[in-house]
Amino acid sequence: MTLLQRSASGSAPASLESFPLKIGDFSGFLPNLPATCHKKAGEQVATPTDEARNVIYVTAGWAFSYRLLDDGRRQILHIHLPGNLIGLSTITRDVAAWGCEAITEFTYVPLCRDALMAQAWGRPDLALRITAEAVRGEILLRERLADVARRSARERVANFLLELYCRSQSIQVELGAGTRISIPLTQDKIADAVGLTSIHVSRTLRAFKAAGIIRYQGHDLQIVDPGNLKRISTFDDQYILWLQRPNFAEQHSGKIIRS
């Protein structure tokens, strides 16, 4: 796999072929995975009080990272799916007191930050891959911010469901076929992600169900009327596409890196 080639002298590769800027999968960089760790659903992967933090590479299961406010309020910042990198912010000094909790049975590889940085130092491909992942985090946050700050509860919930739906589709993990996925989140957590009360989330989902837009039993989400849900959410098609296939190689056709 060309990704693993060490660029000999620090010069840019001849073409993009040798550096597809695909985000969301670092397994190519971790040929011999270090010891995998494991948490049960609900356990903390990292707590807001942790001093030293590792960067975490998700190999299986879901987790979320959150920011705790003084008064106990919680804001969920990211939902992490397999292939994601958690805690890149520790590369610099990280200020926010944030934590990470397993949503499902959760498997991951903790990567020592210093070692990761040392590796990246000698491997521009890895360095840029990390940057791409950091940027991806920012794009997701940007959308969430616009969502929470400027959209109604209906729109937010619709958006959130679609986002998760699309993201989980793009990842090599068993999630059921068709328009049906398992969303192992309590409404409480959905609320903390979109900035609402769990009570209001309940009402909103209920309304969607009543309108025949979704079916949502247990943690099984079925999007019955995707068109309608998209209309409600005012979801950007481009964005959907990107969420489903975050591989930039095709789009830029060789323009990302060129000497």
Partner DNA sequence: CGTAGTGTTGATCAATGTCAAAATTTGTGG
Partner DNA sequence: CCACAAATTTTGACATTGATCAACACTACG
Q: Which parts of 56-95 interact with its own copies (CB under 8 A)?
A: 67, 69-71, 73-75, 77, 88-89, 91-95
Q: Is 98 in the site for its own copies (CB under 8 A)?
A: yes
Q: Give the residue, chosen from 54, 59, 187, 233, that forms a contact with DNA under the rule CB under 7 A.
A: 187
The CA-based angle 150-78-107, given to 5 degrees, is 165
**CA torsion angle for 247, 102, 213, 154 (degrees, to 10)?**
-90
43-62 residues in contact with DNA (CB under 7 A) are: none
Asked whether position 219 contacts DNA by CB under 7 A, the answer is yes
Say which entry of its own copies, DNA, none residue 141 contacts (CB below 5 to 8 A, set by partner kind): its own copies
The amino acid at 74? R
Q: Please report whether residue 143 would count as binding its own copies according to CB under 8 A.
A: yes
Contact status: 257 vs its own copies (CB under 8 A): yes
**H helix count then E strand count, the chain:** 8, 11
Please identify, using beta-carbon distances, which residue of 184 and 195 lies nearer to its own copies.
Answer: 195
DSSP calls for 73-134: -EEEEEEE-TT-EE-GGGGS---S-EEEEESSSEEEEEE-HHHHHHHHHH-HHHHHHHHHHH
Residue 170 makes contact with DNA by CB under 7 A:
no
According to CB under 8 A, which residues from 36 to 55 bind its own copies? none
Q: Does 137 bind its own copies (CB under 8 A)?
A: yes
- In terms of Cβ atoms closer than 10 Å to its own Cβ (0-12, 13-18, 19+), residue 203 is middle
Instruction: Pick from 107, 200, 209, 242 the residue near its own copies by CB under 8 A.
Output: 242
Radius of gyration over every alpha carbon of the chain, rounded to an integer in angstroms: 19
Q: Which stretch binds DNA (CB under 7 A): 47-55, 86-94, 151-159, 165-173?
A: 151-159
User: Between vectors from CA 134 to CA 246 and to CA 254, what angle results, nearest 5°?
Assistant: 50
Cα distances from 137 to residues 87, 132, 148, 157, in angstroms, run: 10, 9, 16, 20
In the complex, least distance from residue 220 CB atom to DNA, rounded to whole angstroms: 8
Please, which of residues 161-190 interact with its own copies by CB under 8 A?
A: none
- Which residues form the interface with DNA (CB under 7 A)? 152-154, 186-188, 195-200, 202-203, 205-206, 218-219
